[in-house]
Structures are given as structure tokens and as C-alpha cells.
Structure 1
């Protein structure tokens, strides 16, 4: 019985060691080697499987799709450090601030554009927290509403393309989809492209932004003391540095929209692959920074160092997860998962509910990178072999992770904002603030489950 469930013991040990605070990549590789060594000694693991790992490393490092990751990271870090979002937020707040809830509305709109430009959740939450939270609090916004809006808006980078999470999910789901087809005996194998996931995420992303806006405007109307309009005299407001003229607003808005159009438009229309579009985005971010007179040698070196550090972290985790996946399958883990799912009541619906619940809970302790590289390769082939649409599954996983990032007490977005929020903001205010946005995301998940066409219609049209 112990040997039969060795794959599950592997997974449990990884979660335990990660909770103790050890690095993710080395935990995955270390646990895999520990179990592989014990399996070789016990005669239940084929050592020849480990000889295939170098070819896996070569396949990862030569993967053309994954080249988009450092390019998108570079684009996001460059935009973060060029103060473009700060100028845009100031102009947008002055344009919308006199409306009830206008400052919160500007935060949502700028956060959505920042998410579509960077695709990095942590960077968006921290940036929006530093720029907008003091202003919202000083102008009378309730702390829970202000912090909840910033946290929820910051996590839009998880679902709004070009999301790095979707880039990684697309690569993993493509491999899982091919394995599912092999299991079903399909000879003409099909793949899932990152572009398909980007297209599938457009409508859910816009729906989520729309739900946020409707909620904020409803609060401003029903409880105006929580989201007051700004005073007419904003010229002396140091937190809103730009003049409230339409010309300045468009001058700060147009560059961001042009960059988003170049990156997403080229992908959606099929003019460029996601990797090529990422290169365009990286170059466009440098041009925008130069236009803001922020492209100095020191800043460029700082952006390159940050990009190298983040990219190295992602690929090191990917290598560790690849070794873990290899050993997991060597112990018959995929067959074990398939058998467990087949025995669940409800068929593929029951299996999907269990997987979504597990991913939601793991989102408390693992980042989306670890879940993408560890959990999805294990459960993906089994779910896809049951007939679930791969694009729909990828978007559901992304929104599920986005929800877990907001959920107290361990949501990553809460930690990010807590680190930059003033001491006057209680942690309980942050927890209360995100609750309505979690409910909105769960409503979106339910809507996508009831009407999968919200995800699959646009990709089918674009094809």
C-alpha cells in the first residue's frame, strides 16, 4: 500500500518542506532525488528514467515559447520603473476624481492597463499600493474599500493578457494535451498555443474588470462616505502630479494603449507569435521610458538585473519541477491519479471540482509558477483525456489562482499590500476589503462553468 501511493507521499512531502520555508526549486529536485534513490535501492524505480533528464533540460532551454517569459518580465519591470503608471494614475484621477467613486474607478482602469502591460501580479499590487493607497485614504476612502480595490486590481495581471501565468500555462497545457491525446490513441496530435489562451482570456478579463467597476460604483452610490468624490481644487495635491487637462490625459494614455495594441493586437490577429510580440513589447517599453526621460544607464542596468533575477527563478523552478514530474511518473503517479479521478462520483465534473479545490488551497502556500509546473502536469493529462477543453481549463485555473491570491489569511496579494500599506491600515481592513472581490471572482468562475462559450467562442472565431 505504501509503495502504491508513493507519488502522493512525494507530493505531500513537497508541500510540507515548502511550508517550512525551503526554496521551491531545490525542494522539488531534492524530494524527487530522495524518492528516486530510495526507489532504486528498493527495486521499484527504473534508474534509466533519470538518464532522460538532460534531454528534458535541453528541451526546456530551447523552448521558443518560453523565450517570451524574460521579454515580458523586462517589459513589465521597465514600465514599473519608468513612472509611466504614476503619471497615468495622476491624470486619470484628476479626470474621474470628481465623480462618486471616481478615484477608485481610476485605480481599476489604470490597474487593468498596467496588468495588460506588465502581467506581473506582485509588481502591480506593490506599484498601485505605493501610488494610490495614500491618496485614497487621505481623500476619505474607507480603508477596506481602498485596500480591497488595490489588491483585486493588482491580481488582474493573472488573467489579462499578456499574462506571464498564461504563457507558462500555455506551454504546460500543450504538453498535457498531447499526452492526453496519446492516451486516447490519437495519431494527429494537436497543441494548445499561448495565443489561444490569450484570446480566451480576453472576454473573462473584461467581464472581471466590469464587475469590479459595477461594484465600486454601487458602493459609491449606496454608501458615498466610503468612496467620496474628490474636491474641485486639486492643483495642490502632491499625490496627483499631473495637470487635469484632456491633452495631458491623452498624452499619458495613448502610449500605454499603443503598447497594449501592438502586443495584444499582433497576437490576436496572428501577425506575430507571443514570443515575437513580447520582443515588440520590450522594445516599446524602452521607447516609452525614453519618452519619459527615464531611460538612464543606471535604470537600464537595474531593469536588466531584475529581469535576470526573476527569469532565473522561473527557469530554476521549471527545472526542479521537471525532475519532480519525471520521478512522479516513474512511480506510476499519472496512472494513480487517473484511477482516483475515475473513481470519483460525478465523472469529469467531480474530478474537475476536486482539482479546482486543490489548486485553490495550494494557492495559499505556493506561487502560480510552482502550481503551474507541479500540479498542472500531474492532473492536466487526466482531465484533458476526459474531454475537457484545454483553453477553458487553462482560463479556469488562472482565475482560480487569482482568487486564491486574494483569499485570507495567506493570499499573496494581501502580503504584497501589507508590506507597503501604512501602519494606520489594519490587516483586518485588508481582509474585509477583498471579500466582495473574491465573491465577484467566484461568480465569474460559476458563469464560465455554466457558459464555457465565454472562453471558447472568441478563440474559435479568431481561428
Structure 2
């Protein structure tokens, strides 16, 4: 019955969409009707309305599951990125309605007309900028079709070439950030990552028998800013491919993309006009994307910047030529510069107002902010009065945003119904049954997404299909793909489907604004080369995931919030880097270790001196341990040749067995519950089904090779040797560098320790006087001062003892004096050895540190050096197969 309900669910959805019902009503309507039919069928056929819900629960619970899930998700702080959707929609509509985008198209189209193929190139460049501001494919295609297409046809461009350029460029809004497609994709992938990690955790537990999976095997998630950065290179790659194609065509077939010369005077004026038209949208894009990628602003804050900036620019454009037209823009620019200067010079945190300088900074920032608000408000008033632009933009933004969130609500209801009828398990079984491993499954999923792009908009695909297939794709350890890469791949595939005849959305939009002289077949022929370019881009991103992952990873590792050097995700790449450095600089590093061993360490305290010598021994051992890692890696690779195929086959069989066990468990429950079986015949059918499943289970068990246990145990021991070698290496280099790091910190704090000497001597005299109240206060001050200086724990411990004595009801003055004398001795001893080490040993320690900091001492650094971080970013951006651990 459940498969029939799944078919009914999908049929109702397709029927409603085909009949022309709004998507926001069709999706939840299909879910509600299918759940109602399931409840009715259960009541009529099994006398239980809950009978046909695979996971149990009542119809009311499944009907409300979507709404409950939506409320739970959107009430969390982590889901507030969807606030950026209306802000970016507002920004794009404001730029489009105020004719700023049109000015840019007209100016650049005329500017590049004198170059062969230049007009088409200008359309691509302007289309990319327009896509980055509107993020709506329909708006971009229509705007460019109405403005650029007539100009290209008048310039004797081939109809196929002209329509292909406009249609292809219009789809760039799908991938060029900031795109609402990427925002919604990221939101769906965030929950998919959580489910995928749960699935991977269970796989690891079954495979290894251990309860906890190492965090380095977690599925890598991504934020919206990461998604924007990840999509930037593929977006620019597409722009570059489009331009390259036009250059080649213009050179081979000049008749398809001819040039049209302009008079010199006109050309000069056009340069100025183009720069003036280019400045507003380009500035806005740089502000929005720059603030996100630099970490200055969140996605929501950047969206607010974009909306406010678009309003200011529109206020000027709508009043261009009038008196004081530029005043709001000037005020906004001056106020923004003033705010930046004030923030640079003052601390404007309201919670930290402690001085007159803080008050001055907050006051100046408040004045500048008020001026900025006034400028934005003035511009908003202009947009409201001029052609009622603001009214139109707000209405359209509200409609689009309401549609997006209505679809999101409907989608979680549809997903709940799909899960209620066992659809999720069915999809898993289908993907598991596809032969050829993970990449064949991935290809099938991408093909399905591509076909769905003919009939559904990106929002429906993203919120309905992605939550079902993404956890399955992300959980597979064989590919170990990141959510970021998967999101960009999905966006590229959907974009390609929007361009593909005969159902591509971009083609429908373009057909609506093209003159009757252009045939539909000519539009189809025109987009075919660009579809090929899209597929090239998809293939490049597929083969080289670094194109997507590198920028976000680089930004993270170079940022203020970079992960520590001991982060598990970085270790393998860091060890590969160290191995290369050992090969190239091994002689110099060994020489530095030997020079440090010959150094006179007698000035160091005994404990640090012992640790230092142990550290030198550990540093020498690091080379041999690295060879063990290399040897272990080679042994694993050799053993995996014969082990991997058997592992894949056995894990597939075990997966089938687990599904049978789940089905048998459900049948046991159904047999136990007498209400599920009104007749003896039905009960016997259930028992027969269980018996058949048990027989099938035995058949599957027989497919597992008899030598599997021994093979698995042998390979596990090989894998364990490599893992142990890596663990030993990490402990060894930590032990080797810790004394160096400690000595450097202690010696660097010597000056601060010496500066505390007058305070310490004054405290000693005060203790001699025996004044309990003032002495305790001064001891507290001394302890607080010493706490900021490394290596003073023994001195502070002694001072604590003295303080406790003074706090007694009847303090022993003699004992306190003796205790303070011991503290003085410790203090002077600490100063003495540090001064001696600075004079005699510090240069040698610094030289040694420079020699090993980027190799043996890499894990001991506060953060990765920039040059190494860039190299590590490339390494972690590529896929790493971890399936052998599962």
C-alpha cells in the first residue's frame, strides 16, 4: 500500500502543477491529500487510520510535522540567513526599476561595438553584473533581451549567436553570487549535513565497532558566505568560457559577430558614460560581496547594505538632471567614510564606555549614523515619489518573498509525507541498487535534477528534492564530498537545465521578448554551444573540486578565526607538507637540531632543561617516524588493491541485510498487533513475507566471502599501523616543540618580570611591617600582576600562602615573613636565570625555532603561517577517500 501512496503523492503534485495551480499551493496540497487518503485507506482496509504510515504516528501528527519542523528550524539562530532573501530581491528590483541596470547595458553595449565580437562580450560582462544584482533568471533574460537583442540584430549579429548569448548570460544569476539560489541551497544542505553525519556515524560504528567516529571523518559543512565564495570561481569560469567562445567565433566567422565602428568623439563620450554607469552597480557588488568574504559583515548585514545602497543609487538615478540630485549620495558617502574613520580611531562599543574618549567616539559615530540614515531616508522618499518606484519594489519583493517561504513551508510538508510513506528508504534502496559505486549514483542523481529543471523552478527543486538526496550523497565515505561542492554542482546542473531545449525556462523568457522574425528553432540552435560550455564547466568543477573549495578554505585559514593547527581535519595535509619539507630541507633541520644539542643549556631551570633535551631527541625521531608514515601509506595503498573491491561488495550485502532486518522487524510488529490482520489469511501472508525475507537474508549472508573476516582483520592491522605512526608523529613533534615554545614565551616576558621588581620589593617591606589589611590588598595586586607573566606560578603559589596567613584571625607574622622571603628568592631566581638565558642562549633558541617552526613545530604554532595556509587550503580542498575506514 505504501508504494501506491508514494505514487499518489507524486501524481497529485504533477497533476496540480500541470493544471496551473500555484506551486505554493500545489506542493502542500499534494501532501495533505495523500495523507488524508492514507488515513482513509487505513481506516477502511485495516480498521486503523495509522496503518499505512511506515514510521508510525497519526495522520494529524504527519500533517503538522512539516509545520512543526519549519517552526523549529526557523526559530533557531542558525537559520536567520533566510532574512537575506528579501534584502537581495529588494536590491535587484530597485536597480532594475530605477534603470541603473539598463543604463549599464546600453552604455557598455555601445562602447564595445567597435570591436569584432565586442558587443556580445559586453553583453556577457554586463549580464554577469546584472545577475549578481538581481539573482533572478527571468528578470535578467527579459531585461537583456529587450535592451541588448535589438542592438545586436541591428549590428548584423547572427540570430542564433545573439539569442544564445542573451539566454546563456541570463542564467548566470543562478551561480554568480550573491544569489538567492545559493542561500536556499545552503539552508537545505545545512540540515542535510546533520543527517549525513548521523548516517556516517552509524556506518563507522558498524564497520569498526567503535562508538565514536573521529571528527576528521565528519561531513564538511558550509556557511552562506562559503557558498558565495565557492560559487565565485565557477561563475567567473562560465563568464570566461562564454567570452572565449565569442572571440573564437568572431575570428573564424566574422559574419556571426561583426564589428560596428563609432566616431572617435562618440567613443570618448561613451567611455565616460560607461564608467559613470558602471560605478554604481559595481560599487554595490563589491560592497556586498567584499563585506561577506572579508568577514566584516554577515550575509544578512551585507543584504541590508545592498538594499540601502541600491535605494541611495536609485534616488540619484531617478532624479538625474534635477537640482541637488546628487546630495543624498554625497551625504551617504561622507557619512560612511566618517563612520569608518571613527571606528578606526575610537572604541565605539556601548558596553565599554569608560572614558571621555569613548563617549566622544560613540557621539561622533551616532552623528555620522544619523546622517547616513537621513540620506537613505531621503533617497527612499525620492523613490516613492518618482514613478512610485519604491511601492512597486516593495510589493514585488513581498510577493516573491511570500512565494519563497510558502514554497518552503509546502516543501517540508511534502517531505514529511514522502518520509511517512517510506519514500526516503525507497530512494536509498534505489541508489544502493545502482551498480558501479558512488559516482554512478551521483551521475543518476544529477541526471534526475537536470530533467526536473525542465519542469520545476530552482526553488521547488532545492526545497523538495535536495533534502531527500543530499544526505545520501554526503554520507557516502567513498567520495567524501563537501556540502559546498555539492551545492555548487547542483546549482550548475540546474542552471544548465534552464538553458536546455525544449523546456528550458530561460528559453521561454527569451521567446517572450524576441521579435517574430526569430524562430524558436533558431533560439534552440543558438543555445547549443553554450550548453556545451556549461557542460565543460560542470565537468571541470566535477574533476577539480578545488575550484569550489579553495577560496572558502583559504579565507578560513587566513582569517582571524582560523582553526587551531591541531584541528583533526588539517593533520593529514600538514603531515604531507612536513614530509615534503623533510625531503627538501632535511639536512638543514638535522643540522639545526645538532647545533642546539651542543648548546649550553645550564642557564635553564632543571625541569625545562630536561624537557628541552627530551624534545631534541623527539625532534630527531620525527624523521624516522615520518618514514614509518610513508611506509604505512604505501602498504595501505598496496593492500587496498585487492581489499577495496571485496569491501565494496560486502558493505553492499550488509546494507541489504540491514534493510531486510528492518523489514522483518516491522513484520514482527504487524503480526503481533492483531488489529493489523482481520483474517487468518492476511496473517498467513504476513508470516509468509517474513519467511521469504529470512530466506533472502540467508542467501545474502552466503554471498559474503568466507575469507572476509580474515581479510578485514589483516587490512585493519595494516591501516592501524599507519594511523598509529601518525599518532606517534603528532605526539613526538608536540613533545619536541613544546619546550622551545615555552622557553621563547618565558624569555619574551623577562622584561615584564623585571618591571614588576619594584612592586615586589615594596610588597616585601610591607609584609615585614605586618599590616594585615593593606598587605592582603597589595598581595592580591601582585598576584594579579604576575598572573599576566608566564612562568610565575610558583611565585604566585607562595604569595597565596602568605595571603592566607594574613587572613587568619591571629596571623603568625614570623611565618609570613619567612614565606615572603621564599617568594622573594623565587622571584630573584626567576629573573636571574632568564637574564642569563637571554644573554647566552636566546639567539641559539631563536635560530633553532626558525629552523623547525614550519615542520616539527608546525602543530605548535598559534595559527598556520600564510604561505603554508595557502598550500594546506589546496590540499584540504581536494577529495580524500576515507571509505577504507568504513
Deviation at 1:8, TM superposition (A): 5.1
Contact 1:91 1:244 in 2 (8 A): no
1:118-171 per-position Cα deviation (integer Å, ceiling 9, x unaligned):
211111101111111111111111111111100000100000000111010000
Indicate the residue corresponding to 2:228 in structure 1: 198
Report the equivalent of 2:307. 282
Partner of 2:27: 28
CA contact (8 A) 1:75 1:282 kept: yes
Match of 2:659 in 1: none
Shift of 1:419: 0.7
RMSD, aligned α-carbons: 2.0
TM-score w.r.t. length of structure 1:
0.94
Aligned match for 2:513, one of 392, 398, 420: 420
- Whether contact under 8 Å (1:173, 1:380) holds in the other structure is yes
| Larger relative contact order (CA 8 Å, sep ≥ 6) | 1
Greater displacement, 38-47 / 227-236: 227-236
The reply to whether residue 137 of structure 1 matches residue 153 of structure 2 is yes
How many Å apart are 1:343 and its aligned residue?
1.5
Q: 1:81 aligns with which of 93, 97, 111?
A: 97
Deviation readout 1:238-293 (Å, 9 max, x if unpaired): xxxx9734332222112221111111111111111111111111111111111212
* Mapped contact 2:124–2:242 kept (Cα < 8 A): yes
User: Matched residue of 1:363: which SS?
Assistant: helix
Contact 2:106 2:147 in 1 (8 A): no
Task: Provide the secondary structure at the position in 2 that maps to 1:292.
Answer: helix
Instruction: Report the Cα offset of residue 111 of structure 1.
Output: 0.4
1:296 counterpart residue number: 383
Aligned partner of 2:287 among 236, 247, 262: 262
- Range moving further from structure 2, 21-30 or 278-287: 21-30
Residue 249 to residue 9, structure 1, CA distance change in 2 (3 Å): same
1:408 aligns with 2:497: no
Contact 1:363 / 1:404 at 8 angstroms: preserved in 2? Answer: yes
**Unaligned 5+ residue runs, structure 2?**
43-50, 202-211, 320-381, 557-886
How many residue pairs get aligned? The number is 457
Question: CA 1:389 to 1:12, structure 2 compared with 1: closer, same or farther past 3 Å?
Answer: farther
Q: Is the 8 A contact 2:67 2:409 kept in 1?
A: no
Judge conservation of contact 2:32–2:63 (CA < 8 Å) in 1: no
C-alpha distance in 2, partners of 1:328/1:27? Answer: 15
49, 58, 69: which one pairs with 1:56? 69
Which residue is 1:381 aligned to?
A: 471
Give the C-alpha shift of residue 4 in structure 1: 4.2
Please point out which of 257, 270, 275 is paired with 1:250.
275
Change (3 A) 1:330 1:122: same
Task: Answer with 154-163 or 285-294: which moved more.
Answer: 285-294
Greater Rg over alpha carbons, structure: 2
Aligned partner of 2:343 in structure 1 is none
1:44 counterpart (39, 52, 64): 52
| SS of corresponding position for 1:388 | coil
Tell me how far apart the structure 1 counterparts of residues 402 and 264 of structure 2 sit (CA, whole Å): 44
Q: Distance in 2 between matches of 1:439 and 1:12?
A: 33
Residue 436 of structure 1 corresponds to which residue in structure 2? 529
Which residue, out of 62, 79, 82, partners 1:66?
82
Match of 1:239 in 2: none
Match of 1:94 in 2: 110
Deviations 1:176-198 (A, max 9, x none): 11111122237888743111111
- Equivalent of 1:103, from 119, 133, 143? 119
How far 1:100 moved relative to its partner? 0.1
2:318 alignment partner, SS class: coil
Q: CA deviation at 1:60?
A: 5.5
CA positional deviation for 1:40? 2.6
Q: Which residue of 2 aligns with 1:216?
A: 246
TM-score, length-scaled by structure 2: 0.50
Residue number in structure 2 paired with 1:344? 434
Q: Which runs of 5+ in 1 are unaligned?
A: 237-241
Separation in structure 1 between the aligned mates of residue 136 and residue 457 of structure 2, nearest angstrom: 12
Distance 2:183 2:10 in 1: 24
What are the within-5 Å matches in structure 2 for residues 352-391 of structure 1? 352-386=442-476, 387-391=480-484
